[in-house]
Chain A
């Protein structure tokens, strides 16, 4: 079988080579975090086309950074130091962190990048994209300011109450402050890359800037009628599914039945007024001051300030007595000075989902247009993003290809958002079968997850049990999970072997280990797919 021939790693050449006309997907096993290297068959056997989809580990992933350093080494080794396309799906640490941590290797050319693919939401010249990013920046500032003020409060309080510290911990958990973990290197790098305001640059912004600076070409992708040929691979193409340009879908995170509950990052949560109060800067800009004023519930004349000495004189003796009695040192346990700041926790959660929904969702197709197997890579797309694919059709080689067709031919599904509850859709808004329910049985699922690490995060049930059970049926047990936590799943061997019950699919695990610790498990899994000839 030519297949086995082609996927046998020839000694001396660590290069990752796909079978003719096919693909090898290398799934790295860092845990909570995405990193997939796809090697598509190229013009000739010796020149595969390498596509890297994301490269990062979540801050809550133990040993994540160490594993990612090994991943980068392996990437350089198996691609010969050149990746044709890097896809940065969205601005989250668990998808980008390794770029930032390996900045040196990108900058000195150890790892070269041909094209960089980004979602249209990263464009600077797009009005909607700018608006979305503006919302995110505002939210981020507000959250950081609120958390800062809460921390000050805890510090100022000599013996902080249990409740305050516990709630602070809960609120900060939602907000990946890991962005700031290597504070000292970020500004240096940022100024080297010529970014404005280097002190304020976050790790994710830095990662994107690095990629933009080192890639030969940057492409912004918008879902539409045109499929994207993969440069260097005559037999594969990509369909852009999301993120949608429909604002209401971008803001839809959770499945709903009938009762549409859109949550607006900017307003429902009261961000505008919350942010103004939390950030609390004295702005000389008149327009900003006017906006801030609009966030106060009442006219200036009605505001009293019994808590500041200088202002307290303006109070009548009765008023002063009232606030002394009911909001003074007596019964201090009933005061609510900081309670409003805890909204930062919810805001962080919304911000997180908002960002997930800007995921660049791709479907790769092998072989003839409209016929070959499809690899579905939705990144962390949430409900609204999935729903938006419904209207998409592509005209290719005289055929009309719709989303249902792509889903039906899906042979590999990179499970969205570490298999959380709201990043895989199975029915559409009318209750009709859609998404995963259209995918044929026998698909192979890839789940980048570490259940134990996810359990430490609030609201992260990963994998989400119902979904996982359904996936097990759909895949007939052919799931590659990066945490190996499910003993029922087949474990690929070091040698290539057939995926049970799936024709033309083979897999193996690496001999290389995740870390120096022996028994830390393989660094990656490889899955090879060949289309019918």
Chain B
């Protein structure tokens, strides 16, 4: 479809979505008569300008296969023939379908995040080049995530923060049992809905929270994995037909074995015995070959450290929470359908009942996925733990739904408790104690004096709001009132104007044909950097004015704004949109402030110390970070939450050092890059070598289970 035609002849509105066919799970389900019917699914992907690749606003699919020394022709989704039949039909042997599927699943995942967050997502910037040089705003901006569907000849797939790319592998299956798949047959990780969603989520999460790649405690990397699995699982519930089919299969009881709770079935079967790669509910017993529900084991959390396995505990807890909510929502339906007994008669369920149950499941899953994603904005900026995540979930849910009639929050807390996941330093597990507490009146006064005026904050919050995201309407009041007290706004806009003059070309008018948020995302990115710089200067000057309250500020924000050596950083300034169940929305401003300190880790062990003494002074150092997440109401200028990890804390560095020492002793000093630990020889720190944190962790995965 050429651009010219559509421009001259616009009588038909731009479509809202593009229909594309995908495998609902992966190709293996096609071979099972019971699941073949639902495995091919058509999804609605937000309409955008897509060129060959597909290359759109957010992602670019580049299908080169270096191991095979070749490339595959990029698919043109705008080909009228493809437009008229919902894209290519699922096929393992057609690389163009693979490109279409990764594109469709990637865009669906992005849409889920944007709907929940109420803002555009951004990829993590490319801050350094491959030689370690720091890059300026123009060079560091990454518009599109790159996706390589056939990058590796290995049973592996990963997100590369270095290349801002997803790399998917393919391999010959290991199945010895032909009933589990063609022995030696080709398995493509890019054709697994779950694997694509999982890797995609890693990339999105890295864009939202860069520091989640810095494992300062055992939960950090595990959280990355858990979140990626969660999004993949809850996205199952949005696939048409699949849910109904599984409800019918399980007779409405989703706590029995079902496809919805499983991840990467084909991949799992091809690489090991006994079903899916991961399953939030249970596993196939290797001895009997039967699937069994895995009971909650409260001690597993304290002895599982491999990130995927530890993440699986969080996933299982949330899935338990989901089941409790689903059961509470459907108990009445089951009673109605069974004449009051709640016990369903034998045989197939009535299709109407299946639809109703599926509706409820979808709604609960959607709500849970949404609060999970929203909770990302309620996490401390550094050193995240599962406990912090629970507190964030409870906080966001309490804010959105003040009266918890169905006891969702209790169900969540119980599910976490049953898996041994507790936040540190809370006295009880009651909803009110778990909820992040807002600042006290004194603190509010202090924050008021520290932060810019409300209308300045408002300008920041709405400045990037050029278009609204997928039907989410923001409150409309914006720039108008900025007239009063012009000094600050002037100062800020001066920064922006200067910046754009330097940038020159970037602020183009969106062309008529562009319906996507193209330049808007780019502008948002530059704006955020300018606002952050502005806020940094503002906070610093205010902190100097308020020098007498330095200690209070430090304890309130967790960072010392006036420290002589340690600079602080305004890590992020972005709007976040709450959507209430009744459809109202509220925009808040999210400000993340962080500070870092380089501390000595000493030696990994006594023997290493002895060896090092022999060949020169060598020490290990690591980065200790503190900071806070501020949620500010831009209307009143009031801070609703201040979520802190203090840089001056006594216990956190001790815990982090113990954790780092333990990991290094298990994985060896060679793993120090993964843990952001560096050797310092005669005061000279070694060069930081970027690496791939999401490639298979080589070793040191099983030891914790030893005794």
Interface residues in chain A, defined as those with a beta carbon under 8 Å from any beta carbon in chain B: 159, 161-163, 166-167, 170, 173-174, 254-264, 266-270, 272-274, 277, 294-299, 302-307, 318-319, 322-323, 326-327, 333-340, 342-343, 345-346, 349, 421-422, 426-427, 429, 451-452, 454-461, 464-467, 470, 483, 485
Contacts and interface: CB of A to CB of B under 8 A. Distances in A.
A427 B707 contact: yes
B67 A277 contact: yes
Given A426-B707, A466-B703, A346 B698 contact: yes
Contacts of B648: none
A163 B162 contact: yes
Nearest to A299: B93
Contact of A426 (B55, B60, B610, B706): B706
Interface stretch (B153-161, B202-210, B629-637): B153-161
Given A270-B172, A343-B153, A456-B668, A298 B611 contact: no
Nearest to A280: B69
Interface in B264-310: 270-274, 283, 285-287, 294
Contacts of B669: 455-456
B707 A466 contact: yes
A457 to B, nearest CB: 6
Given A295-B172, A340-B153, A458-B667, A333 B129 contact: yes
A218 B172 CA distance: 39
Given A461-B665, A485-B606, 11 more contacts: A162-B687, A167-B692, A255-B706, A256-B705, A259-B283, A272-B184, A296-B68, A326-B60, A345-B698, A459-B698, A461-B666
B606 to A, nearest CB: 7
Interface stretch (B26-34, B71-79, B104-112): B71-79
A122 to B, nearest CB: 25
B706 A163 contact: no
B702 A458 contact: no
Contacts of B698: 174, 345-346, 349, 458-459
B407 to A, nearest CB: 32
Contact of A297 (B68, B167, B670, B706): B68
A451 B605 contact: yes
Contact of A452 (B130, B607, B666, B699): B607
Given A255-B705, A333-B129, A339 B151 contact: yes
Among A174, A270, A318, which residue has the most Cβ atoms of chain B within 10 A?
A: A270
Given A326-B60, A327-B64, A459-B699, A270 B171 contact: yes
A273 B153 CA distance: 6
Most buried by B among A167, A304, A465: A304
A297 B187 CA distance: 9
Given A163-B162, A297-B170, A319-B73, A340 B700 contact: no
A342 B148 CA distance: 16
Interface in B681-695: 687, 689-692, 695
Contacts of A260: 272-274, 286
A273 B64 contact: no
Given A269-B171, A305-B70, A336-B151, A470 B53 contact: no
Contact of A334 (B67, B164, B271, B690): B164
B283 A455 contact: no
Nearest to A326: B62
Contacts of B126: 333
Nearest to B146: A334
A345 B707 CA distance: 28
Contact of B699 (A319, A340, A455, A458): A458
A335 B687 CA distance: 23
B517 interface: no
B701 A254 contact: yes
Contacts of B323: none
B418 interface: no
Contacts of A338: 66
B173 interface: yes
B604 interface: yes
Contact of A162 (B69, B131, B153, B171): B131
A14 B153 CA distance: 58
B152 A303 contact: no
Contacts of B170: 270, 273, 297
A336 B673 contact: no
Contact of A267 (B72, B174, B287, B695): B174
A44 B509 CA distance: 101
A466 B167 contact: no
Nearest to A270: B171
Nearest to B614: A452
A173 B671 CA distance: 12
A267 B608 CA distance: 38
B703 A464 contact: yes
Contacts of B72: 298, 302-304
Contacts of B610: 452
A162 B689 contact: yes
Contacts of B705: 255-257
Contacts of A272: 172, 184
Contacts of B283: 258-259
Which of B270, B283, B670 has the most chain A CB atoms closer than 10 A to its own CB? B670
Nearest to A485: B607
Contacts of B74: 319, 322
A274 B701 contact: no
B186 interface: yes
B696 interface: yes
23 contacts: A167-B691, A170-B691, A257-B705, A270-B154, A274-B67, A274-B153, A294-B172, A297-B68, A297-B188, A304-B71, A322-B52, A326-B60, A327-B71, A340-B153, A421-B706, A451-B605, A451-B608, A452-B607, A454-B668, A459-B666, A459-B699, A461-B665, A461-B668
Given A267-B174, A298-B72, A461 B703 contact: yes
B65 interface: yes
Contacts of B160: 339
A173 B148 CA distance: 28
Interface string B602-634: 001111101100000000000000000000000
Contacts of B700: 459, 461
A460 B665 CA distance: 8
A111 to B, nearest CB: 33
B70 A464 contact: no
B154 A269 contact: yes
B165 interface: yes
A318 B52 CA distance: 9
A336 B130 contact: no
A343 B154 contact: yes
A398 B633 CA distance: 86
B645 interface: no
B95 interface: yes
B665 A163 contact: no
Contacts of B130: 161-163, 333
A340 B67 contact: yes
B131 to A, nearest CB: 6
Nearest to A318: B52
B574 interface: no
B53 A326 contact: yes
Contacts of B129: 333
B150 interface: yes
A174 B604 CA distance: 21
Interface string B305-340: 000000000000000000000000000000000000
Pick the 10 closest A-B CB pairs, nearest first: A459-B699, A270-B171, A267-B174, A458-B670, A421-B703, A260-B286, A303-B70, A161-B130, A166-B689, A254-B702
Contacts of B449: none
A159 B130 CA distance: 10
A299 B94 CA distance: 9
B510 interface: no
Contact of A273 (B52, B67, B285, B691): B67
Contacts of A421: 666, 702-703, 706
Contacts of A336: 64, 66, 148, 151, 163, 165, 167
